[in-house]
Structures are given as structure tokens and as C-alpha cells.
Amino acid sequence: MKRALTLLLALIPSATAAQQGAILYERAVKYEFEIPEQWAARLGDLEMPAANVTSMLLFFNESASLMIPAPAEEEEMPGGTEQRAQRLATRLRMASTARSDQEVLLQAYVSYKDGSIAETYEFMGRTFRISGTQPSYAWRLSGEQSEFLGYTMQKATAEHDSTTIEAWFTPEIPVSAGPGLYGGLPGLILVVSVNDGHTVYSATEVNLTAVEDGVVKPPDDGQEVSREEYEEIVAEKLAELEATQRSRRTRRP
């Protein structure tokens, strides 16, 4: 993946500029599905993956940021039990009634000038685009510091919409950006953990190369819906899935 980031940034002008660059993150979202009883005996000692792990790329400049999926490299597929475990995890995730198993944040755009945002989500095979305003996080600085990727980080915490957030940011990159919609701190967020590690973004590479004009812009993919409409769709589809799963469990001998 580092090679993919290097190749991608090689296409961008080499002249450096203040408060511009790209950050490669590893995103891990813990699975919430339960392993059916009828599967348990067949799994034996097979170790199921605990989280859905993907790579995300954050471009930022002085006025905005955009997070997108990192370009995928051709990698040798794992074999044997590891490949089998990943296939089973994918099947269980697709049948899960947990929102975090069905929902994937694909893109997130944030404007520092007016606070506007645009996000695209994949939910049960459909892509939705939502516009709005960046959340206002009531950050509390703890005074704790740490070293990460050669940068000095400081810890900040917040609670927002029933979620607890722990962020580690570096004032050495003086831009109020971070993965997803997380930001508003006096430095770029390199690590963020939501709800005690349920979702974790962790930077793996930092490149402070100038970003080409036109790269950081709002996404235009997906069906445009309001936040309220999207929440209604999510609730309705999860309820339908739960009813289907309950019916199957009832019919099972």
C-alpha cells in the first residue's frame, strides 16, 4: 500500500506547499455479527477476523479535505484457513443486522471555510450521498503526549451523538483535518478511536506534498438524500433484514 501511495503522489506536482498533503490510514471496524450455532462446530479452531480492515487516503489543503478509498494493489490472496475465514466473515457481515456491518463510509469531504460536508456511504449494496454541516466536537485536551510516525501527538477526547471519541493529533501539521469528519483540533489527527476501539483510524504514512488543484472537491457519487431520509432508509432496511432473519430462524428445525 505504501508503494500505491508513492505512485499516486508521483502524479502530483512535486512543489511543496504549507498545509497540504496526503495521509494514508488503516481503518478497522469491529464486526458485530454473531456466529450461528450450526456453524460453531464446523469452524473448529478456525480463527475469524475481528474487524473489517481497509485503507483510506486523506487529501488536504488549506481550505478543505477529502477522504477516499486508497488505490488497491494487486496482492497475493491468502490461502488455506485464512482465506476461508475471510470468506465466512464476508458472508456473515452481509447477513448481519448490525448497522456497522452493513454500512461503509466511502468518501468524506469537509470545507474549512464554511463547515460544509459531503459524505458517500455504501449501505446494503446501494450508494448514498449526504450533504450538511461538519459536527461540532467539544474537544477536551488531556495534556498527554506521544510519538507516532516521527510526530509529537497530543490526546483529545469528546462525546458526540452517544459516541466517545479519542483522538491523537499533531500540531506539527497545523491543519484542522482528520479521517472522515473528525477535525477541529489545532493539528492534523493521525489516530482516532471511536467507542473504545469499535472503529479505529490509524495513519500509516504521511506525505506533505502539494495537492493538485481539483483533487479536493465534494464527491458526486451516489443517490443524493437528506440526513433524515438516509436514517429512515437505514432503519427500514435493517428492520426488513431482521424480520427476514427471524423468519428463517423460526422455520429452521
Q: Contact at 8 Å (CB) between 225 and 233?
A: yes
pLDDT for the residue 73: 65
Task: Name which of 16, 86, 28, 13 is nearest 204 in CA terms.
Answer: 28
149 sits in the region (left: phi over 0; alpha: psi -120 to 50; else beta) called left
Comparison of pLDDT for 29 and 49, the residue scoring more = 29
Q: What letter would DSSP give residue 227?
A: H
Of 13-27, 129-143, 152-166, 181-195, which gets the smallest average pLDDT?
A: 13-27
pLDDT tens sequence across 113-132: 999 999 999 999 999 999 99
pLDDT for the residue 38: 67
Q: Contact at 8 Å (CB) between 108 and 124?
A: no
pLDDT at 8 over 50: no
For residue 69 the three cell numbers come to 478509498
pLDDT tens sequence across 76-114: 555 566 777 777 778 888 888 899 999 999 999 999 999
Q: Whole-prediction pTM value? A: 0.84
Comparison of pLDDT for 88 and 220, the residue scoring more = 220
Spatial separation of the C-alpha atoms in residues 68 and 130, rounded to whole Å: 15
SS3 212: coil
Write the CA distances from 240 to 104, 122, 154, 225, integer angstroms. Answer: 19, 17, 44, 20
pLDDT tens sequence across 222-239: 999 999 999 999 999 999
- The model's confidence at residue 7, banded by pLDDT at 50, 70 and 90, is very low
Task: Name which of 216, 218, 220, 203 is nearest 62 in CA terms.
Answer: 216
Bridging pattern class, strands 126-133 and 223-224? parallel
pLDDT tens sequence across 156-208: 999 998 999 999 999 999 999 999 999 999 999 999 999 999 999 999 999 99
